[in-house]
Each structure stands twice: as C-alpha cells, then as structure tokens.
Amino acid sequence: MKTPPITPAGAGMQPGATMFAETRLVRRKLFSEALAKWIFFGMAAAMVVPLLCLVAYLLARAMPSLSLNFLLDPPLHNMTQGGVWPALVGTVYLVVIGLSISVPVGVMAAVYLNEYARENWFHRAITMAVINLAGVPSIVHALFGLGAFVYAARFGYSVLSAALTLAIMTMPVVITSTREALASVPHGFREACWNVGATRWQTIKAVVLPNSISGMLTGVILEVSRTAGETAPIMFTGAVFFKAVERGDLFPYHLTDQCMALSMHLYVLATQVPGVKESLPFATAVVLLGVVLLVNAALIGLRVYLRSRKRW
Amino acid sequence: MDPQPSVSPAPPRRPARPAWATCGETALEWLIRLSGVSAILFVLAIFFFVFREAAPVLLSKNFRLAEFLFSPAWYPTSVSHVRYGILALVVGTACVSGLAVLLAVPFSLGAAIFVSEFCGRRLKEVLKAVIELLAAIPSVVWGFVGLTVTSKLVQQLTGAPVGVNILNGGVILALMVVPIITSISEDALKAVPDTYREAALALGATRWQIVHRVLLPAAKNGLLAAALLGVGRAVGETMAVLMTTGHAVQIPHSILDSVRTMTANIAAELGEAPEHSEHYRVLFLTGVLLFLITFVVNLTADLVVRGIRKK
C-alpha cells in the first residue's frame, strides 16, 4: 500500500512512536490493528504452506521411481511398471498443436477488442463471451469437442480433436493477457505513428505489437501450463489409456491417431490400473507438476526481467 | 479518432503502396474482425453442439423433464425400469461446492487483504507468485492428492468409513478455488482509489480500521463477484471431484457421506454409455444444464461488477 509521506499520529506502526500519550482507546486500536495483521498473515500463510507441503510430500513418495529412464521408458507390464515417455510426448503434441491454433486466433481477437472495436453493446457482448468461455466447465468443453470435432466434423477420436478442444478451452487466457498488454501501450505511441501517415494496421504492426510482446508471451506461457494440465477435455476426444510407443520415439503419433497424455496417464494410474507399483503414480504426478510449475516459474522470471527493462 | 491525417492542399509526391499491400491489409483486418467475433461464435457453438447431441432425448418416452430435474433415482442402465433423475447429482454438486466456497472465501479474503494492504513490496511479489503457482496446479494432481493423501487424513481424523466423501472433496476444491478468489479479490481491493485510504489515514485510522470501515464497503461488489466466480469454478470442476468424492449417487445425510457431482457423473459414465444412446444423450443434457448454471453465475458476477462501475 502506498503510504503518504507524513505519517499522522496514531497511525504509526510502533505503539511507542506516537506523538501523544497513549489512551486506552489508542491502545485498543493498535491492538486490534496488530491482531488483524497477524490473522490476515496467517490466512496468507495458509496458502503457501499447502503448496510447499504438497510438493515435498509428492517428491518424497515419488523418489524410488524418479530417474531419466522413467522419463524415457514406455509403460511396461500392463502399465504397472516402466515410465511415461508416450504420455510426455503426447502432452507436448497436444500443447504444440493446441497453441498453434489458439494463439493466432486469440491474439487477433485481442487486437480486435483493443484496437478496432468501439465501446458499444457489441464490444460488451464479446467481452462477456470471453468471460463465459473461460467459465464453461471443462467437462462441457469435452462434450462440445465430442459433439463438434469427433462426430460433426468427423475428425474421430484423435490428436486433432483433442488439440482443437483444448485450444478453444484455453483461448480466453491468451485473449485476456494480450488485451492487457495492448492496453498498457500508451495511446500517444499510436497517435505519433498515425501522424506520420501510417494506416491502422501498420501502426499495430510497427508500434503496438512490438511494445506489448512481453505481455503476450505471459499469456502464451500461462496457456502452455493450462493446456498441459487439463484432463477432462481430452478424455473423450483423443486421449487413450495406453498406446504402444518405442522408448525415446520422438514422432509416435499422427494427427488422426489417438495419443496418451500425462494428465490422463496420472488419472488412469491412480484409479484404473490394479497392482501398479506404489511410487509410479507419484512420480507421474511429480513429472506433470514439474512441467507445469517450471513453465510458470519461467513465466514469473520472464515477467520480472521484462519489467526491469521496460522503456516507459 | 481518425487514423488518417487530413489531406493538405498540395500533397507531396510519394510512391503509392502496391495494390497487393492494400488488399492484404484489408484481408488481414477482416481476419482480425472475424477472430474478434470468434469468442461469441465459440460460446454459441458450445451450446449448439452440446444441445444438438442432447435434444432427441427430450422427445423420448422414457424421459420426463420433471423427473430429470426433481427425482433422485438415477438408473440409466437398468433394463426393466430406466430412470433418469439427477437430483442426487445436483445435491452432490451443491454440497461439495458449497462447502468448498464456505471454506475458501474467508481465507482468500484474508489473504487478499494481507497481500494488498498489510505486507511490504517484496513479500507481496513472493505471495502473488505463490498464488499464481497454486492456481496453475492441474486439477488431476489435486484429485490425486485428494485420493491418496487427504482422504486418509479425513479417515483418521473423523473415523469415517470411507475417506472419499464430501469433506474430502470440499477441502481439495477449496484449495483449488482459493487462488482464484484471492487474485480477483486483490484486484477488487486495488481498484479502490488511494484517496479513500489517504482520507482515512488523515483521520487517524489504523490499517485495520481502513480495511473494515473503508475498503470492504467500497470493494463490496468486486469481492462478491470474486466469490461468485469461485462458485462457478467449483461447480464446473471435474477431475478433482471425480477422484475425491467417492462414487455414490445418493442424497447425502452427513458431511462424511460419499456423493457424486454432475460433472463427475458425466466424466465417469460417458465412456461406458453407447454412442447416441438415451443414456449418452441424458449425459449431454446434464452438460447443457451445467453450461446454463455457469453462464448465469458468470453473468451475475459481471452485472455485480458493472454495478460498481456505474456508481
């Protein structure tokens, strides 16, 4: 919070530092202040602690299985042993294909909303639709993917259907963050460009987009982690329990094939496979969590770096 | 404002842009317009395609809308007496997400107040990063944690026969929605003008007095919207509740009973339902209902927020 330069008497943080003698009222006020502060601190801490405990516990339980071979091996012996290679590659496939669809459309939608659309009911309707798209339950997206891509468009149960479903589901992330980035470019930049005779699109290309690239990148990275973690939308559109893939094979899937995915693999190991080695689902969870958290940590680092060299 | 500068009486000669550049630009601008409208198209398409799969069952003789909404009897695969009542599932959803929101709202409000009003800049950055990381944990990982860790804790602490029940699901779901409600609440608090705080400080108010006499009333609508969006997220969550609440289609009598939610029911049964069968279509109809519920919740949240902006 921004504190004004001169701290008024009675609002100081140290009880002894007040200018006036402490009355009972002041003491009570300062006591309730301290109490409130610690209670709110406790509530904030209650959020941090579970994250640390969770990661530590999962890591501890996963230790026996974690190794390079775990990443590179396919699941073995009816999925009770082995590694996660096909699922890892499948997740990468889904993320890459999904993003290559949702990022261009999302960025263009944001450009439209911020640069072209006027403030009117239509603009509001689009904003509302974006909010709603973000709020639709993931299982409804799965039903949509099944009805639209698998059956109506006849893509069948495939990587393509699953990636399209994920793309539509995660598009609001890219739209929202790109829009914020575009809005943060000062209006004077655009006016200067218009004044030298550039058209609207030339201005966007030469001035607006380069100046908001960091915000867009934020959205893209956030979307990577979202896409990698989703399970429900791919469960019925293209992800399968098991697919035989060679160890370390980089291109095991075709667009029309079904694929494995890390999130689905974790669900299957945890609930559907009897007699699975105890540390195996934990190790899978750690790999999935590792992918998502690393991507997010990279995002936070990137944002700090870009903010430090912002030019205006 | 007009992007084109007004034409001066004697324009200097300059090379005209080639025709393909102008055409390309126009085409691109239309593509951008189309993308802009795409969000609306997607929302409509979601409703259309899900409803299209569900619609034929509305005319089926085994299906009555009143029974669908108000009967707890869910026997979709029964040979002799098929019943499609989702009341138990609706109650399950209400119990689990209600508990989750009840647990999550005080904590996220407290955390948001701490982050925006009480802590220094360094700590603020760290806490916001943690909130972001928490929000990024995939729901299937939460579900896995609920299945393997907290369900055992619940069993030990309460002596319940099964650990996967409303309490377990509610706790996991609360952990999932806390970061969402926190970050939206924090935005709402940040939106209160600094002059309000300064005025209160000038009167000698402590930060706690500022928070509870000035900020909470001023940010009331934003905070309410944050809670509503939390409700929307909790109702729509699938994988975590599928794995943590047990699989009993029943009206629960206590917080330690297992239930099944609408979302979990779709996820659990869609794989088994034969394509285009009645059962399959009823599951899609549940999807339509879920879509409508979240639509209304989001719309309400938006109206609540717009309420402040009008003032």
Instruction: Give the mean model confidence (pLDDT) for residues B11-40.
Output: 82
Please indicate, yes or no, if residue B32 is contained in any of the structural domains: no
Whether the Cβ atoms of residue A80 and residue A280 lie closer than 8 Å to each other: yes
Tokens of A295: 């991507």
Please indicate, yes or no, if residue B249 is contained in any of the structural domains: yes
Shortest CB distance from A140 goes to which of B50, B114, B299?
A: B50
Provide, as residue numbers in chain B, all residues whose Cβ is less than 8 Å from the Cβ of A44: 110-111, 114-115, 119, 127
- What DSSP letter does each residue of A3-67 carry, written as one string? PPSSPPTT--SSGGG-SS---HHHHHHHHHHHHHHHHHHHHHHHHHHHHHHHHHHHHHHHTTT-S
Q: Flag whether pLDDT at B44 surpasses 90.
A: yes
Domains in chain A: ranges and CATH: 68-308 (1.10.3720.10)
Q: Flag whether pLDDT at B9 surpasses 70.
A: no
How close B240 comes to chain A (CA, Å)? 10
Q: What residue of B is the nearest CA neighbor of A240? A: B271
Q: Does B302 touch chain A (CB under 8 A)?
A: yes
Asked if A135 and B229 come within 8 Å (Cβ–Cβ), the reply is yes
Please indicate, yes or no, if residue B79 is contained in any of the structural domains: no
Please indicate, yes or no, if residue B286 is contained in any of the structural domains: yes
- What DSSP letter does each residue of B171-233 carry, written as one string? HHHHHHHHHHHHHHHHHHHHTS-HHHHHHHHHTT--HHHIIIIIIHHHTHHHHHHHHHHHHHH
DSSP conformation class of A150: I
Q: Flag whether pLDDT at A212 surpasses 90.
A: no
Whether the Cβ atoms of residue A175 and residue B35 lie closer than 8 Å to each other: no
Which pLDDT belongs to residue A2?
46
Domain encompassing residue B260: 93-310
Which pLDDT belongs to residue B104?
92
Distance CA A222, CA B132 (A): 10
Please calculate the CA angle B127-B128-B133 and round it to the nearest 5 degrees. Answer: 95
Predicted complex ipTM: 0.86
Please indicate, yes or no, if residue B34 is contained in any of the structural domains: no
Please indicate, yes or no, if residue B247 is contained in any of the structural domains: yes
Q: What percent of chain B has pLDDT over 90?
A: 23
Mean pLDDT of chain B: 85
Instruction: Give the mean model confidence (pLDDT) for residues A174-190.
Output: 89
Whether the Cβ atoms of residue B143 and residue A267 lie closer than 8 Å to each other: yes
Residues within 8 A of B (CB atoms), A 245-264 only: 263-264
How close A144 comes to chain B (CA, Å)? 5
Q: Flag whether pLDDT at A4 surpasses 70.
A: no
* pTM of this structure: 0.85
How close B175 comes to chain A (CA, Å)? 8
Q: How confident is the model at residue B195 (pLDDT cuts 50, 70, 90)?
A: very high
CATH of the domain at B120: 1.10.3720.10
DSSP conformation class of B59: G
Question: Using CA of residue A278, residue A279, residue A284, residue A289, what is the dihedral sign?
Answer: positive
Total structural domains within chain B: 1
Q: Flag whether pLDDT at B2 surpasses 70.
A: no
Please indicate, yes or no, if residue B182 is contained in any of the structural domains: yes
Provide, as residue numbers in chain A, all residues whose Cβ is less than 8 Å from the Cβ of B39: 109, 126, 129-130, 133, 171-172, 175
Q: Flag whether pLDDT at B106 surpasses 70.
A: yes
Provide, as residue numbers in chain A, all residues whose Cβ is less than 8 Å from the Cβ of B3: 194, 198-200, 203
Q: Quick check: helix, strand or coil at residue A103? A: helix
